[in-house]
Chains A and B, each alone.
Chain A
Amino acid sequence: MSIPDTIAAPLPEPGPPLPAARRPAPSPARAAWRVARQAGAFIASLALTFLGLTCVTFVIGRFIPADPVLAVVGDRATREVYDKARLDMGLDRSIPEQYFIYLKKVLSGDFGHSVITSQPVLYDLMRFFPATFELATIATIIGVAVGIPAGVAAGANRGRWPDHTIRIVGLFGYSMPVFWLGLVGLFVFYGRLGWVSGPGRLDVFYEDILEPRTGVILIDSALAGEWGIFWNAFGHLILPAAILGYIALAYIARMTRSFMIDQLSQEYVTAALIKGRSFRGVVWGHAFPNILVPLITVIGLAYAGFLEGAVLTETVFAWPGLGRYITQSLFNADMNAVLGGTLVVGAVFIGINLSCDFLYKVADPRLRAP
């Protein structure tokens, strides 16, 4: 066991004062090489995390059901059917071999067939994804549009009433069960006030009129010039999006506040104030650009989080998205669909997460290690 060198290390000799560090500006080639190296590390960690994800879904699918063959053929199957299914599923091979077969299938986009829809799982996922995408995007926009100004206001007025108000609003957002908030929202705004439309993406009247191009109804209807459908879809979308947006707002405002406080305590802020710039000018002109970079990660995390937070919201609002697809498959013991969905949501989540980390490093010069 090595002894930490805090004891043994001799004190540094007091030499002549070092010249002020003046590193030559890195050449463009070197800078490009650094970005390339970071990109390499990024792709490697992406691949590794994805491999880990497939390991987990493989383990869940292969080991946790008492007998995966029985789960497929049912317990009334004859011996021959059972044996054939076992061979078909490759369960006579060794575990690592099974894993590689699974990995190969996953990489080629083959998640098996869904038992309920009897379509390939990948096809189902592509069909359900646009709804989740639509919801998550609008929710993130709401969260960013409200959360960032609120967080800046809280950070700039630390300890005063805007700060306390925003802290309480944020704490409430953190503590609300999203499915309950959805139900209460439906009760108040749909049931009592009638301001918004009920569950689903469109009224029954409008369904199946629109030719799906992107699958995102707001875009499709606008492209087709069907403004009636557009506003109908908007009425359905706004409540779930606002509720998810509130959850994002709580998180974004809190992080923005703490970044802002951090920046406002820096010396450049004092310098700018002494020079005579107004406080508002310092906050938005000097401090805000500095918090933008870490905010990328926060917004990305919130966005990625919706792909899972949406599971509950989609259930409450009967929103035909990924989360609802996964939960419905779950209750019909459709393991292929559940694991395929988990894998895809996980992959998107990991992708967004790590991309933000990467962007963050590329965008912030201070984080580029020499």
Chain B
Amino acid sequence: MTIASADPGGKISLRAWLADETPKSRTQAFLANLWRGVVALCSNPVAFGGLAVVLAIVLVAALAPLFAFGISPIEQDLAHRLAPPSPTHWFGTDELGRDIYARTVYGARVTLTIVVLVSVIVVPIGLTVGTAAGYLGGIVDTVLMRITDIFLAFPRLILALAFASALGAGLRNAVIAIALTAWPPYARLARAETITIARSDYIAAVVLQGASTPRILLRHVVPLCLSSVIVRLTLDMAGIILTAAGLGFLGLGQQPPTPEWGAMVSSGRDLILDQWWVATIPGLAIFVASLGFNLLGDGLRDVFDPKAA
């Protein structure tokens, strides 16, 4: 494989190199595709708004100590418990005198961790099951799709609840519980894509060249399924955040004292009538994160899959 042989070298600008209609190498073609996607995404106001929110959350999570101005999210200050929002405590303090602003900032870490871990588990499972079912067909297809349908028919939160309660509370188990209930739509999507891809000429050509089934699936089918899977994943992430927050709210997510948005709302539940900020602020954070992913997903779909919009 050649690596970007077409050297921009000052004469051709990077932008022209990316916009080249006849890419000289695979890398160039890949980067050019990526560039076109980014341009399309940024010219769609909805997607751009979503992207901005998501990037902001990622930034806040990555640099949490900086954004929290060095305030500890777990340090208790019982003398100043349940203080209303003020210049010293922007979002007030909770029932143990912890700064809600700092806790909200650190809470982004837990939420993003869950989203990333669930995606990393769910996408490979969905792709494996879906492409195998779609490509191999026959009895494999029937069995795999029946299993998928069974999981798809389950009420998601209840099943996650049962799993989380059986496995015990905690971040790892919450991730497993959500992943176990989240993979079936990806399998269905990948299968639908695979069925159309499997009929195409270039797959027949690869078969004639003697490629093994795993190689065909991995190198020639999966890459083509990826774009629709990613769009779906972005739309799904909002749902994952809400399910995770729901589990946290019920006490089955990340355990205290680590700040988790759902659990923070839960701790403010009995105080809602007098100290509204304890529950309201972290809930707002969940809402913003989820809205960001929804906007991004909506925009991505508008850009890459105009038919479904």
Which A residues have a C-beta under 8 Å from some C-beta of B?
A: 1, 3-4, 6-7, 45, 48-49, 52-53, 56-57, 60-61, 64-65, 171-172, 174-180, 183-184, 186-187, 190-191, 304-305, 307-309, 311-312, 315-316, 326-327, 330-331, 335, 338-339, 341-342, 345-346, 349-350, 353-354
Q: A327 contacts B161, CB within 8 Å?
A: yes
Within 8 A of A (CB), among B118-159: 146-147, 149-151, 153-159
Q: A171 contacts B298, CB within 8 Å?
A: yes
Give the complex CA separation of A102 and B149 in angstroms: 23
Give the complex CA separation of A335 and B161 in angstroms: 12
Which of B153, B198, B199, B207 counts the most A-chain CB atoms under 10 A from its CB?
B153
By a CB distance below 8 angstroms, the chain A residues around B154 are: 53, 56, 346, 349-350
Q: Can you name 8 A-B residue pairings with CB atoms under 8 Å?
A: A4-B203, A171-B295, A176-B287, A183-B272, A183-B283, A308-B158, A326-B158, A330-B165
Q: B294 contacts A174, CB within 8 Å?
A: yes
Q: Is the interface of B mostly helix, strand, loop or mixed?
A: helix
Q: A187 contacts B265, CB within 8 Å?
A: no
Nearest first, the 5 closest Cβ-Cβ pairs linking A and B are A180-B283, A52-B150, A308-B155, A64-B166, A175-B291
C-beta contact mask, B205-240 vs A, less than 8 Å → 1, else 0? 001100001000000000000000000000000100
Contact among A172, A312, A326, A346 with B246 in the assembled complex (CB-CB below 8 Å): A312
By a CB distance below 8 angstroms, the chain B residues around A1 are: 207, 213
State how many angstroms separate the Cβ of A108 from the closest Cβ of chain B. Answer: 22
Q: Which residue of A lies closest to B293 (CB)?
A: A175
Give the complex CA separation of A345 and B276 in angstroms: 33
Give the complex CA separation of A134 and B158 in angstroms: 19
Give the complex CA separation of A312 and B251 in angstroms: 12
State how many angstroms separate the Cβ of A274 from the closest Cβ of chain B. Answer: 27
By a CB distance below 8 angstroms, the chain B residues around A353 are: 153
State how many angstroms separate the Cβ of A292 from the closest Cβ of chain B. Answer: 22
By a CB distance below 8 angstroms, the chain A residues around B208 are: 3
Contact among B149, B213, B238 with A49 in the assembled complex (CB-CB below 8 Å): B149
Give the complex CA separation of A304 and B152 in angstroms: 13
By a CB distance below 8 angstroms, the chain B residues around A190 are: 273
State how many angstroms separate the Cβ of A331 from the closest Cβ of chain B. Answer: 7
State how many angstroms separate the Cβ of B269 from the closest Cβ of chain A. Answer: 6
Contact among A6, A308, A335, A338 with B156 in the assembled complex (CB-CB below 8 Å): A308
State how many angstroms separate the Cβ of A334 from the closest Cβ of chain B. Answer: 10
Give the complex CA separation of A4 and B246 in angstroms: 47
| CB < 8 Å A-B pair total | 154
Answer yes or no: B162 CB below 8 A from chain A CBs.
Answer: yes
Report if A316-B159 is in contact (Cβ < 8 Å); known contacts: A49-B149, A56-B154, A171-B295: no
Within 8 A of A (CB), among B241-258: 242, 245-246, 249-251
Q: Which residue of A lies closest to B251 (CB)?
A: A331
B contact residues, total (Cβ < 8 Å):
53
Q: B159 contacts A346, CB within 8 Å?
A: yes
Q: A349 contacts B283, CB within 8 Å?
A: no
Which of B158, B251, B286 counts the most A-chain CB atoms under 10 A from its CB?
B158
By a CB distance below 8 angstroms, the chain A residues around B268 are: 183
Q: B158 contacts A49, CB within 8 Å?
A: no
By a CB distance below 8 angstroms, the chain A residues around B201 are: 6-7
C-beta contact mask, B257-273 vs A, less than 8 Å → 1, else 0? 00000100110110011
Answer yes or no: B200 CB below 8 A from chain A CBs.
Answer: yes
By a CB distance below 8 angstroms, the chain B residues around A45 are: 149
Give the complex CA separation of A355 and B207 in angstroms: 42
Q: B153 contacts A354, CB within 8 Å?
A: yes
Q: Which residue of B lies closest to A55 (CB)?
A: B150
By a CB distance below 8 angstroms, the chain A residues around B294 are: 171, 174-175
State how many angstroms separate the Cβ of B195 from the closest Cβ of chain A. Answer: 11
Give the complex CA separation of A188 and B229 in angstroms: 40
Give the complex CA separation of A326 and B161 in angstroms: 9
By a CB distance below 8 angstroms, the chain A residues around B262 are: 177, 179
Q: A342 contacts B159, CB within 8 Å?
A: yes
State how many angstroms separate the Cβ of B215 from the closest Cβ of chain A. Answer: 12
By a CB distance below 8 angstroms, the chain B residues around A60 are: 162-163, 166
Give the complex CA separation of A257 and B233 in angstroms: 22
Q: Which residue of A lies closest to B284 (CB)?
A: A180
Contact among B147, B161, B284, B286 with A52 in the assembled complex (CB-CB below 8 Å): B147
By a CB distance below 8 angstroms, the chain B residues around A56 are: 154, 159
Q: Which residue of B lies closest to A60 (CB)?
A: B166
Q: A327 contacts B250, CB within 8 Å?
A: yes
Within 8 A of A (CB), among B77-126: none
Give the complex CA separation of A352 and B192 in angstroms: 25
Which of B198, B208, B238, B287 counts the most A-chain CB atoms under 10 A from its CB?
B287
Report if A312-B158 is in contact (Cβ < 8 Å); known contacts: A64-B167, A183-B265: no
